[in-house]
Amino acid sequence: MKDFIIGAISDTHDHLTNVAKAIDIFRQNHADMVIHCGDYVAPFTLQTFKDLSVPLVGVIGNCDGEIDLLLKTAHGLNFSLYYPPHTLLINNRKIIITHKPITLNEPYAIYLYGHTHRAEVTYKDNTLIVNPGEACGWLFGKPTIALLNLDKIQAEIIDL
Protein backbone atom coordinates (compact mmCIF):
# COMPACT_ATOMS: atom_id res chain seq x y z
CA MET A 1 0.00 0.00 0.00
CA LYS A 2 1.26 3.47 -0.92
CA ASP A 3 2.28 5.79 1.91
CA PHE A 4 0.24 9.00 2.32
CA ILE A 5 2.33 11.92 1.03
CA ILE A 6 1.68 15.57 1.87
CA GLY A 7 3.22 18.39 -0.13
CA ALA A 8 3.89 21.39 2.11
CA ILE A 9 4.45 24.93 0.90
CA SER A 10 4.53 28.36 2.51
CA ASP A 11 5.31 31.97 1.78
CA THR A 12 4.70 31.87 -1.96
CA HIS A 13 4.38 35.69 -2.02
CA ASP A 14 3.05 35.79 -5.59
CA HIS A 15 6.06 33.96 -7.10
CA LEU A 16 4.07 32.13 -9.79
CA THR A 17 7.07 30.46 -11.43
CA ASN A 18 8.06 28.80 -8.15
CA VAL A 19 4.47 27.80 -7.45
CA ALA A 20 4.42 26.00 -10.82
CA LYS A 21 7.71 24.26 -9.94
CA ALA A 22 6.28 23.19 -6.58
CA ILE A 23 3.13 21.80 -8.19
CA ASP A 24 5.28 19.77 -10.60
CA ILE A 25 7.28 18.33 -7.69
CA PHE A 26 4.11 17.48 -5.77
CA ARG A 27 2.77 15.66 -8.84
CA GLN A 28 6.05 13.82 -9.51
CA ASN A 29 6.07 12.59 -5.90
CA HIS A 30 2.40 11.56 -6.02
CA ALA A 31 1.33 13.86 -3.17
CA ASP A 32 -2.08 12.93 -1.82
CA MET A 33 -2.73 16.48 -0.64
CA VAL A 34 -1.03 19.86 -0.40
CA ILE A 35 -0.90 22.04 2.71
CA HIS A 36 -0.12 25.75 2.37
CA CYS A 37 1.06 27.51 5.54
CA GLY A 38 0.03 30.99 4.43
CA ASP A 39 1.25 34.12 2.69
CA TYR A 40 -0.09 33.45 -0.77
CA VAL A 41 -0.40 37.27 -0.83
CA ALA A 42 -2.87 37.79 -3.73
CA PRO A 43 -5.82 35.63 -4.77
CA PHE A 44 -4.32 35.12 -8.24
CA THR A 45 -1.51 33.13 -6.61
CA LEU A 46 -4.02 30.76 -5.04
CA GLN A 47 -5.64 30.46 -8.48
CA THR A 48 -2.37 28.97 -9.85
CA PHE A 49 -2.99 25.85 -7.73
CA LYS A 50 -6.16 25.11 -9.76
CA ASP A 51 -4.51 22.31 -11.70
CA LEU A 52 -3.72 20.30 -8.58
CA SER A 53 -5.54 17.02 -8.78
CA VAL A 54 -5.46 16.64 -4.98
CA PRO A 55 -7.01 18.61 -2.10
CA LEU A 56 -5.34 21.81 -0.92
CA VAL A 57 -5.76 22.88 2.69
CA GLY A 58 -4.24 26.11 3.88
CA VAL A 59 -4.23 28.91 6.41
CA ILE A 60 -4.19 32.67 6.05
CA GLY A 61 -0.83 34.38 6.60
CA ASN A 62 0.01 37.84 7.90
CA CYS A 63 0.86 39.21 4.42
CA ASP A 64 -2.26 37.92 2.73
CA GLY A 65 -4.35 40.71 1.26
CA GLU A 66 -7.92 40.62 0.02
CA ILE A 67 -8.77 37.85 2.47
CA ASP A 68 -12.46 37.77 1.48
CA LEU A 69 -11.45 37.21 -2.15
CA LEU A 70 -8.86 34.60 -1.10
CA LEU A 71 -11.59 32.70 0.78
CA LYS A 72 -13.98 33.03 -2.17
CA THR A 73 -11.28 31.85 -4.61
CA ALA A 74 -10.46 28.87 -2.39
CA HIS A 75 -14.13 27.93 -2.15
CA GLY A 76 -14.51 28.17 -5.93
CA LEU A 77 -11.57 25.80 -6.39
CA ASN A 78 -12.85 23.36 -3.74
CA PHE A 79 -9.84 24.17 -1.57
CA SER A 80 -10.10 24.59 2.19
CA LEU A 81 -8.68 27.82 3.57
CA TYR A 82 -8.83 28.68 7.28
CA TYR A 83 -7.70 31.24 9.80
CA PRO A 84 -4.80 29.77 11.79
CA PRO A 85 -4.30 27.65 13.69
CA HIS A 86 -6.19 24.84 11.99
CA THR A 87 -6.21 21.20 13.06
CA LEU A 88 -6.68 18.24 10.71
CA LEU A 89 -7.10 14.56 11.43
CA ILE A 90 -5.78 12.44 8.56
CA ASN A 91 -5.38 8.67 8.86
CA ASN A 92 -5.64 8.99 12.66
CA ARG A 93 -2.76 11.49 12.70
CA LYS A 94 -3.42 14.88 14.28
CA ILE A 95 -1.87 17.75 12.31
CA ILE A 96 -1.81 21.44 13.21
CA ILE A 97 -1.22 24.12 10.57
CA THR A 98 -0.40 27.72 11.34
CA HIS A 99 1.42 30.58 9.71
CA LYS A 100 3.32 32.18 12.56
CA PRO A 101 5.09 29.86 15.01
CA ILE A 102 3.07 29.01 18.11
CA THR A 103 3.56 27.08 21.33
CA LEU A 104 1.77 23.77 21.26
CA ASN A 105 -0.45 23.03 24.25
CA GLU A 106 -1.38 19.49 23.28
CA PRO A 107 0.23 16.62 21.35
CA TYR A 108 0.22 16.50 17.56
CA ALA A 109 1.83 14.06 15.14
CA ILE A 110 2.81 16.93 12.84
CA TYR A 111 3.11 20.69 13.32
CA LEU A 112 3.39 22.72 10.09
CA TYR A 113 4.13 26.43 10.05
CA GLY A 114 5.63 29.14 7.84
CA HIS A 115 6.33 32.86 8.34
CA THR A 116 10.05 32.69 9.18
CA HIS A 117 11.03 31.81 5.58
CA ARG A 118 13.53 29.32 7.04
CA ALA A 119 13.13 25.64 6.24
CA GLU A 120 13.12 23.32 9.23
CA VAL A 121 12.51 19.66 9.97
CA THR A 122 12.86 18.69 13.63
CA TYR A 123 11.24 16.47 16.22
CA LYS A 124 10.19 17.60 19.68
CA ASP A 125 8.10 15.65 22.19
CA ASN A 126 7.12 13.07 19.53
CA THR A 127 5.94 15.81 17.15
CA LEU A 128 7.38 16.27 13.67
CA ILE A 129 7.88 20.02 13.23
CA VAL A 130 8.11 21.25 9.65
CA ASN A 131 8.54 24.67 8.12
CA PRO A 132 8.75 24.19 4.34
CA GLY A 133 10.67 27.47 4.05
CA GLU A 134 10.00 30.19 1.53
CA ALA A 135 8.67 29.03 -1.82
CA CYS A 136 9.22 32.55 -3.14
CA GLY A 137 12.93 32.73 -2.35
CA TRP A 138 12.63 36.51 -1.88
CA LEU A 139 14.36 36.80 1.52
CA PHE A 140 17.09 34.18 1.45
CA GLY A 141 17.39 33.34 -2.23
CA LYS A 142 16.77 29.64 -1.57
CA PRO A 143 13.21 28.66 -2.47
CA THR A 144 12.07 25.42 -0.83
CA ILE A 145 9.06 23.23 -0.16
CA ALA A 146 8.66 20.02 1.84
CA LEU A 147 7.39 16.51 1.30
CA LEU A 148 5.98 14.67 4.31
CA ASN A 149 5.35 10.97 4.66
CA LEU A 150 2.36 10.78 6.98
CA ASP A 151 2.72 7.03 7.58
CA LYS A 152 6.38 7.24 8.62
CA ILE A 153 6.10 10.71 10.20
CA GLN A 154 9.10 11.92 8.18
CA ALA A 155 9.76 14.99 6.06
CA GLU A 156 12.37 16.29 3.67
CA ILE A 157 13.05 19.77 2.38
CA ILE A 158 13.13 20.08 -1.40
CA ASP A 159 14.89 22.89 -3.29
CA LEU A 160 12.87 24.50 -6.07
pTM: 0.97
Please state the separation of Cα 150 from the chain's center in Å. 14
3-class secondary structure, 17: helix
Q: Per-residue pLDDT tens for 19-58? A: 999 999 999 999 999 999 999 999 999 999 998 999 999 9
For residues 55 and 77, give the distance between their C-alpha atoms in angstroms, rounded to a whole number.
10
Q: Per-residue pLDDT tens for 103-160? A: 999 999 999 999 999 999 999 999 999 999 999 999 999 999 999 999 999 999 999 9
Distances in whole angstroms, Cα of residue 63 to Cα of each of 40, 50, 86, 129: 8, 21, 18, 22
Given a contact cutoff of 8 angstroms between Cβ atoms, the answer to whether 11 and 134 are in contact is yes
pLDDT the model gives residue 139: 92
The DSSP 8-state label assigned to residue 44 in this structure reads H
pLDDT the model gives residue 1: 78
pLDDT the model gives residue 51: 85
Q: Per-residue pLDDT tens for 61-93? A: 999 989 999 999 999 999 999 999 999 999 999
Cα three-residue angle 154-79-61, rounded to 5 degrees = 70
Please state the separation of Cα 24 from the chain's center in Å. 15
